[in-house]
């Protein structure tokens, strides 16, 4: 996609200026939010997607990625562990429901408080192969963005030492809490721990689950993990018979941050319906995920497409790119009401490398209707 002229860039509202480093070099990195695309840009993006999706992966290979999904995500976490912390300054600004009693002037949670070390990874800022951009780890860190990596859906059961807990409706983790949050696809805890530190409501209880046993191990072994306020467990979203540790209509918030995109598209609707049943009347699902024509989608090569707008990365993990209408249909079909459904288009410019990068995310809030009073 052609870089915009300096005049065109100057008209856009800057999101911020950051400095990214490589050995011996310093790059100024600017970003603009709420960027409007021209018809030409939209057409170019559509053409790139048509090109990279013209050759689908054979069905037997697609089935292999589905069956072995847990293995690919476990390998991901064995390699990265908790070294890819993304500073989430945006989290409580975009989703104040996560800490409703928070003072707006309260300082944001810092990376060091969460017990993470940002990976010192200076490998090619310009590289973006197989749909895995180095920018997705480096630039998003610098711009206070997040790509929490969700991992779900396999035909194999989780490791027995993390077997999901049995419960009765009156006795379960967090049963005495007054405000309950569930994060699905918690990764190494990069959302859970900031919530626990920022939301000081004594009635708060946070559940977090992941498809990866390795990821849940990382959460449970973190020094910030407090079993009196948090419960981490392995869960396979695609298995309808896989129980949750809490009863239906018990949650105030369900968080899906770059999670739904990792799931087989034909399974998304049943998963959203199942999660919606966990919400109290008035409870909300909060989502942030990939939008159609994001940079990562445009950089996929032929032979990596599984189906329309659904791809496999070089490491075996998968990703879908949504439109607003698709997400609206998923949530409203599950009986939820739209509170927010917006596209966040970002322009990131690395002046040192003369790179222009367009990122597209979608952010949603959908609420379970409150039953009318008799």
- Contact partners, residue 284, CB within 8 Å, separation at least 6: 97, 252, 253, 254, 339, 365, 366, 367, 368
Max mean pLDDT range (42-46, 183-187, 231-235) = 231-235
Q: What confidence category does residue 167 fall into, taking pLDDT thresholds of 50, 70 and 90?
A: low
> Which of these, 164, 114, 119, lies nearest to 142 by C-alpha position?
119
Residue 55: the pLDDT is: 85
To the question of domain 27-98+173-368 being in CATH 3.40.50.150, the answer is yes
State the pairing for strand pair 132-133/14-22: unpaired
State whether residue 75 is helix, strand or coil.
Answer: helix
Which residue ranges make up each domain of the chain? 27-98+173-368
What was the pLDDT predicted at 156? Answer: 38
Q: What percent of the chain has pLDDT over 70?
A: 64
Alpha helices in the chain (DSSP H): 6-10, 39-52, 59-67, 69-80, 91-94, 138-142, 192-198, 213-221, 268-276, 295-298, 324-333
Assess whether pLDDT exceeds 60 at residue 166: no
| 3-state class (DSSP) for residue 127 | coil
Q: Is 340 left (phi over 0), alpha (psi -120 to 50) or beta?
A: beta
Q: What is the pTM of this model?
A: 0.75
Residue 58 has pLDDT above 50, yes or no: yes
Confidence at residue 20, expressed as pLDDT on a 0 to 100 scale: 37
Q: Is the pLDDT of residue 364 over 80?
A: yes
Instruction: Give pLDDT, residue 372.
Output: 66
Q: For residue 78, is pLDDT > 70?
A: no
pLDDT value for 41: 87
56 to 142, 173, 370: CA distances (angstroms):
35, 44, 44
């Amino acid at each position: 996609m052609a870089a915009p002229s300096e005049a065109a860039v100057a008209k856009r509202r800057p999101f911020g200026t950051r400095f990214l480093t490589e050995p011996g070099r310093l790059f100024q990195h600017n970003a603009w939010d709420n960027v409007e695309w021209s018809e030409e840009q939209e057409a170019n993006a559509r053409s790139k997607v048509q090109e990279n999706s013209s050759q689908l992966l054979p069905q037997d290979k697609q089935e292999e990625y589905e069956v072995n999904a847990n293995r690919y995500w476990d390998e991901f976490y064995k390699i990265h562990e908790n070294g890819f912390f993304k500073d989430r300054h945006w989290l409580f600004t975009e989703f104040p429901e996560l800490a409703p009693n928070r003072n707006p002037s309260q300082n944001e949670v810092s990376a060091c408080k969460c017990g993470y070390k940002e990976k010192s990874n200076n490998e090619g800022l310009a590289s973006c192969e197989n749909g895995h951009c180095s920018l997705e780890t480096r630039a998003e860190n610098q711009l206070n963005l997040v790509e929490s990596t969700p991992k779900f859906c396999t035909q194999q059961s989780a490791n027995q030492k993390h077997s999901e807990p049995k419960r009765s409706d009156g006795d379960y983790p967090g049963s005495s809490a007054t405000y309950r949050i569930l994060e699905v696809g918690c990764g190494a805890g990069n959302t859970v721990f900031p919530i626990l530190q920022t939301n000081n409501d004594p009635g708060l209880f946070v559940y977090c689950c992941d498809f990866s046993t390795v990821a849940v191990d990382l959460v449970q072994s973190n020094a910030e993990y407090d079993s009196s306020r948090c419960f981490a467990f392995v869960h396979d979203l695609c298995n309808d018979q896989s129980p949750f540790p809490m009863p239906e209509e018990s949650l105030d918030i369900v968080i899906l941050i770059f999670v739904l995109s990792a799931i087989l598209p034909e399974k998304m609707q049943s998963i959203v319906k199942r999660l919606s049943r966990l919400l109290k009347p008035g409870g909300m699902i909060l989502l942030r995920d990939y939008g159609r024509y994001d940079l990562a989608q445009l950089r996929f090569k032929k032979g990596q497409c599984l189906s329309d707008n659904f791809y496999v990365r070089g490491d075996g993990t998968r990703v879908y790119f949504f439109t607003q209408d698709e997400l609206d249909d998923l949530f409203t079909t599950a009986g939820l009401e739209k509170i927010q459904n917006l596209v966040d288009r970002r322009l990131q410019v690395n002046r040192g490398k003369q790179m222009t990068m367009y990122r597209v995310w979608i952010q949603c809030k959908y609420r379970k209707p409150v039953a009318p009073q008799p």
